[in-house]
């Protein structure tokens, strides 16, 4: 016999579970998948990360589908230089990008002879490896690996092509309420240097701060459903690794 009360109770349970999931995803923490190599060597294609939504406060982009329910941010907190941030691209206010914050409002950013300058001061980098291989799409690049140090003490690894193909740039002056982002894979990243596609990112477009990798698999070896390949495809050394 059809049990109407049983059906109603199950619908209620699913409804409340959905509401709780949306609240957690919108206000606290959200998983993201890394689809590109623009943040190598720190984030690899196949990394799955957790991003805290409360780190910089909340905007309409904190919620699924970015509903236009309010303007601006509330409980806002200023990000710090060197943070790895997920944001909505200004081009469509829909696509999620993840990059490293380099420039704050009012900062002047420029590449001179392949060296990064912020407010006329060179960002120091010390070489870690002269023979490193990283991906750029399906291509494997031979690069130099450096440790860069920002003025606030934040240190992280970056890679540059050995011929330093990105030599000089225009001067980027970050507008008020905007930020300037770069990929750690400097010669394989569409970021704030490309004003027509990414450019300066408005504070309202910030989604959250990348905190740690909770799972990682190498899709070039096999999908996560190919359990017989897990020994080779799963990157166990990256599980629960903090993002620097």
Nearest to 167 by CA among 115, 103, 109, 102: 115
**Cα 244 to Cα 238: distance, rounded to the nearest angstrom:** 13
pTM (2 decimals)?
0.89
* 88 noted as active-site residue: no
Cα 227–chain centre separation? 28
Residue 55 burial by Cβ neighbours in a 10 Å radius (0-12, 13-18, 19+): middle
Q: Under a CB-based contact definition with an 8 Å cutoff, are residues 88 and 207 in contact?
A: yes
Kindly name the residue from 38, 62, 189, 217 that is annotated as catalytic. Answer: 38
Confidence at 44, pLDDT banded by 50, 70, 90: very high
Q: Is the pLDDT of residue 1 over 70?
A: no
What mean pLDDT comes out for the span 1-8? 64
Q: Does residue 85 have a pLDDT over 60?
A: yes
* Peptide bond before residue 41 is cis, with ω within 30 degrees of 0: yes
What H or E segment, with its residue span, contains residue 143?
A: strand 139-149
- Dist. CA 193–CA 100, nearest whole Å: 13
Average the pLDDT over 7-29 and give the result: 75
Is 38 marked active-site? yes
- Taking the C-alpha atoms of residue 130 and residue 78, their distance in angstroms, rounded to an integer, is 36
How large is the average pLDDT for residues 148-161?
96
pLDDT-above-70 percentage for the chain: 92
Say what the pLDDT of residue 17 is.
74
CB count within 10 Å of CB 42 equals 21
Mean pLDDT of the chain: 90
Question: 31-242: which CATH topology?
Answer: Umud Fragment, subunit A (2.10.109)
Q: Which of 60, 88, 99, 145 is catalytic?
A: 99
């Amino acid at each position: 016999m059809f049990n109407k009360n049983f059906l109603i109770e199950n619908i209620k349970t699913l409804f409340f579970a959905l509401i709780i999931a949306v609240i957690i995803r919108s206000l606290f923490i959200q998983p993201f998948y890394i689809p590109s190599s623009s943040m190598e060597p720190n984030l690899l294609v196949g990394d799955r990360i957790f991003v805290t939504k409360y780190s910089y406060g909340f905007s309409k982009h904190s919620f699924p589908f970015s509903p236009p329910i309010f303007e601006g941010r509330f409980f806002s907190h200023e990000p710090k230089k060197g943070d790895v941030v997920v944001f909505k691209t200004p081009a469509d206010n829909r696509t999620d990008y993840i990059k490293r914050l380099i420039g704050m409002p009012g900062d002047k950013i420029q590449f001179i002879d392949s060296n990064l300058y912020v407010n006329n001061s060179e960002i120091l980098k010390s070489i870690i490896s002269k023979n490193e291989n990283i991906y750029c799409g399906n291509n494997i690049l031979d690069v130099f690996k450096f440790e860069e140090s920002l003025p606030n003490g934040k240190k992280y690894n970056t890679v540059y092509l050995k011929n330093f193909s990105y030599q000089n740039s225009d001067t980027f002056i970050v507008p008020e309420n905007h930020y300037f982002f770069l990929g750690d894979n400097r010669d394989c990243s569409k970021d704030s240097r490309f004003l027509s596609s990414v450019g300066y990112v408005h504070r309202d477009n910030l989604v959250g701060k990348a905190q740690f990798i909770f799972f990682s698999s190498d899709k070039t070896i096999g999908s996560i459903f190919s359990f017989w390949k897990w020994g080779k495809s799963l990157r166990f050394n990256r599980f629960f690794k903090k993002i620097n």
